[in-house]
Each structure stands twice: as structure tokens, then as C-alpha cells.
Amino acid sequence: MSAAAQRGLAVMSRGAPTVRMSTSPTTHAATVIVPNVRRGAAKTWLAAREAELLPVRYFHLVFTLPKQIADIAYQNKREIYNLLMRASADTVVKIAADPKHLGAKVGITSVLHTWGSAMTHHPHVHMIVPGGGLSRDGSKWIASRKNFFLSVRVLSRLYRRLILEGLPKLDMAGKLQFFGDLANLADRNAFDDFLKLLRKIDWVVYAKEPFAGPKAVLAYLSRYTHRVAISNSRLIRFDAQNVTFRVKDSGHHTTMTLATSEFIRRFLIHVLPRGQHRIRHYGFYGNGNWAAA
């Protein structure tokens, strides 16, 4: 194993995830155990969220970032991840509060994911949201329409606006850095031109009632709340130089083999900045509002 890979393993073993590699004396194959899954914490989180479920339909929402902004996030993780979570939540809260759409205060549980199946950088937010909310005075429940929560088109446009308003504010405050292929964005005019192009494209937002119900979505999210990037069950083999693992490509299950150093590099991309929270609650689920509700 290269010195770089050994250093990567040392970094991983010091953080929240842990790594252990054990080689079979007969086959020279190895089991690679990457994340410390913290199953107990995940189960506790899942039980707490299930206990909060209301006797109403729920919706699963996903907010993604265009690749151009995901590239900025790669160099500015703390700031862009915070912006992503805040803007997506503000979008749902504001549209839901508008009487033209729902006219209610909703509750949101958001979970930040930063990876795709191959552990590439793909920041996005999953939300689980009740299909309705509290009236302005908190005296009654206002249900959303059957099989429809909020307009995806309306959500997408406000979300795009909030992100594109937030980015220059971060830049003006000196909180963004640009280097490598993005070094030209350090020029304010170039950054403004870059953002103008993003106003002209559609941003992807997903919102559907889960076929298997809210518990299935919570169970899915719980598999990622207390681990990073990949589960042990997807790991197949390690032969000192490479790691082979299962991936899903365009809906089809296949395998991928990476050099050990590249596997570790991809894994470490998804370790959040110190003190940053992957799970956040908003609306009547946030900041003690749930108990009051």
C-alpha cells in the first residue's frame, strides 16, 4: 500500500468513521471495513422520528445542486452545505405558508447527502415532510391535496433564487475561496457572469408521496444519518492495491474497482467539516417547536 493510502487510513481512523483491513492468510484477499456505522445511534434516530409521525400522508422531497455549484461546494463545503440546507428549507417553509399554495406552517426533517453511488461528490438534501401543516394561529391542521404537496416548479424557482442570492453574499463576505479550475471566479465580474448562466437553467427538485409510506423513507434515511458514503455490505474485496465495491449505475447494479488511494480519497470527500450537522429540523419540528405544537 502506498504511503498516501496509509496516511489516508490514519486520517480516517482518527475521525468519526473508522477503517480496519484484515487480509486472509490463504487467499490474500481482504475485507475492508470502512465506516463505523454506529447502528445503535441510527436505530435510536429512526425510533425517535417514527414516534413523531403524525396520522397523515407524508412526502419525500429532494433538492439537488447543479454541477457548477457542486464544484464550488467541493472547495467550500461548510458554507455551501449550510446554504443548501437553509435555502431548501426556506423554500418549503415559504411556499407552504403562502395561502395560494397551502397556507400552513409545515414541519421538515432534512438530511444532507454528499455522495452518489460511486462516492463521487453529489451534494443534495433529502426531506421528509407531513402533507399539511398548522394554521397561522395553530388552532387547526390544514391538509395538502391528495397525492400533491407543493408545485415542484414553484419550489424549484424559489430554491434557485435563494441559492443564487446567497452565493454572492458569501462571496462579498469573503467566505468563498476559488482555486484550480475555478480560480477565475475570484474575479467578481466573472463570478457574476457565472451566476447569470445558472439563472437560465432548470434546477432539479423532487417531491412525491412515498409509495411505501413515511416509515420506508425514514428507514432509508437512517441508513445514512450516522455513517459516511458507503455501507460495509457494498464492499466486495481488497487485494492490497484495489478496492472493489457494488454501485448502481442508471438503475442497474454493477461493480466498480478503484485504486486504494482513490477509494480513500473519495471516502474522505464526504467527511463533513468539524461541527457541521448532517440532520436538521425546521418549521414545527425545529428548535423546540415540536413540543409546543
For residues 30 and 238, the answer to whether their CB atoms sit within 8 Å is yes
Whether residue 171 has pLDDT greater than 90? yes
Q: Which residue has the higher pLDDT, 46 or 12?
A: 46
Q: Can you read off the three cell numbers belonging to residue 64? A: 439537488
Q: Can you read off the three cell numbers belonging to residue 75? A: 472547495
What is the pLDDT at residue 32? Answer: 41
Q: Report the greatest alpha carbon distance in the chain.
A: 70
pLDDT tens-digit readout, 85-138: 999 999 999 999 999 999 999 999 999 999 888 889 999 999 999 999 999 998
For residues 30 and 23, the answer to whether their CB atoms sit within 8 Å is yes
What is the pLDDT at residue 46? Answer: 84
pLDDT tens-digit readout, 27-52: 334 334 444 446 677 788 888 888 88
Whether residue 22 has pLDDT greater than 80? no
One-letter identity of residue 171: D
The residue assigned the cell 412526502 is 59
Name the β-bridge partners of 207. 61
Average pLDDT over residues 72-91: 97
Confidence tier at 288 by pLDDT (50, 70, 90): low
Whether residue 278 has pLDDT greater than 60? yes
Whether residue 18 has pLDDT greater than 60? no
SS3 string of the chain? CCHHHHHHHHHHHHCCCCCEEEECCCCCCEEEECCCCCHHHHHHHHHHHHHHCCCCCEEEEEEECCHHHHHHHHHCHHHHHHHHHHHHHHHHHHHHHCCCCCCCECEEEEEEEEECCCCCEEEEEEEEEECEEECCCCCCEEECCCCCCCCHHHHHHHHHHHHHHHHHHHHHCCCCCCCHHHHHHHCHHHHHHHHHHHCCCCCCEEEECCCCCHHHHHHHHHHHHCCCCCCHHHEEEECCCEEEEEEEECCEEEEEEEEHHHHHHHHHHCCCCCCCCCEEEEECCCCCHHHHC
Confidence tier at 252 by pLDDT (50, 70, 90): confident
Q: What's the CA gap between 253 and 246, in Å, rounded?
A: 7
Alpha-carbon dihedral 225, 78, 270, 60, rounded to 10 degrees: 40
For residues 110 and 125, the answer to whether their CB atoms sit within 8 Å is yes
pLDDT tens-digit readout, 197-220: 999 999 999 999 887 788 888 888
Q: What is the mean pLDDT of the chain?
A: 84
Q: Could you give the C-alpha distances from 221 to 51, 60, 74, 112, 156, in angstroms and in order?
A: 15, 11, 23, 10, 22
Q: Can you read off the three cell numbers belonging to residue 236? A: 466486495
Domain boundaries, the chain: 1-33+232-269, 40-229+277-292
